[in-house]
Amino acid sequence: MDKIKYLSRIQLFQELELEELKQIEPVTPIRVVKKGTIIASPHMDSKILYLIKSGTVRLYKLSGSGKELTLDLLGKGHVFGEFGSFTTGSENMYAQAWEDCVICKMEQPQLEQILREHPQLSLKLIEIISNRLKEVEELLEYMAYGSVRRRLLYLLRKMAEKFGTNWTGTGRRPDEDGWIQLDISITHQELAAMMGSVRETVTALLNELTKEHIVRRAGNRKPLQIHWPRLVHALESEE
C-alpha cells in the first residue's frame, strides 16, 4: 500500500510537497474497513477526524421508528467527523463503509500536531469544513422545501460532482457529448432513502428522466450516466 500516494489524494493534504507528506505519514495511521462496517456513531467518541483514502462512506441518521435515512455519500479525499470545537457537519450521524474503504483515523492530538507543524493546513481545513457545512445546509433545504423531482435532480447533481469518472482537472467538465458516468453503484431503494421517498416514486421519476435524456444506462447492471447540461437546466427549471 503506497501510503504517500493515498495521503496526496486527500483534500487536506493535496497542496503539500512530497517531503511534507513524508513528515505527516508516521502520525496518520491507515486501516482497511470492510463493507458494511460502522466507522462512527453518535455513541462513539466524536472527537475524531476521519479521512477517506479510497472507497465510499455512507452517512445516515435513524428516525424515531428506527428507519435509516441516508444523508450523504462521501468518496476518496473527503473528510468527516469532528475535533475540538470544529465539526464537518456529520455529528450525531452514523458513518458506514458503503464498500471496502481505506480510512485514516486522526484523534485530536495527532491533528493538532500536524496543524502546528504545517500551519497552512489550518486555512485549508477551515475551507473544507465551511464547504461541507454549506453542502449540508443546502441538502436540508432541498429535503424540506423541494418537490420529489427536484430532490432527485439535486441528488444526481451532487453525485455527479463527487463520483463522476470522467471529470478531470479543476474545471471539471463532462465528455464532449455532455455525459458523466457515476463511479458508484446505487439502487433505486438507496436513492429513495437519500431523498426521504419510496422506491416506486424514484423508479417512476428515473423513467421520466430517461425519456428526457437526462439519465441513461448502457445495461441493467451498468453504471448510471448523467447528461450534465440537461440536468443543470432541469434543476434550474424546478426553482
CATH numbers and ranges of domains, the chain: 3-140 (2.60.120.10), 146-238 (1.10.10.10)
pLDDT tens, 151-201? Answer: 899 889 988 888 887 654 444 566 678 888 888 888 888 888 887 788 999
Asked if residue 89 has pLDDT above 60, the reply is: no
How far is residue 173's CA from residue 59's CA, in Å, rounded to a whole number?
27
Looking at the DSSP bridge assignments, the partners of residue 96 are 38, 58
Strands across the sheet with 94-97, in order?
38-40, 94-97, 57-62, 68-74
- Calculate the CA dihedral of residues 112, 116, 119, 121 and round it to 10 degrees: -30
What confidence tier does 46 reach under pLDDT thresholds 50, 70, 90?
A: low
The mean pLDDT value for 53-73 works out to: 82
Return mean pLDDT, the chain. Answer: 80
Whether residue 6 is predicted with pLDDT greater than 90 in this model: the reply is: no
In the chain, what percentage of residues exceed pLDDT 90? 18
Secondary structure E strands in the chain: 30-33, 38-40, 48-54, 57-62, 68-74, 79-83, 86-87, 94-97, 101-107, 179-181, 215-217, 224-227
pLDDT for 169 equals: 43
Does pTM surpass 0.75? no
Mean pLDDT throughout 88-98?
75
All three cell numbers of 144, joined, read 424540506
Residue 47 is predicted with a pLDDT of: 73
For residues 207 and 120, which has the higher predicted lDDT (pLDDT)? 207
Digit-coded pLDDT (tens) for 201-229: 999 999 999 999 999 987 767 788 999 99
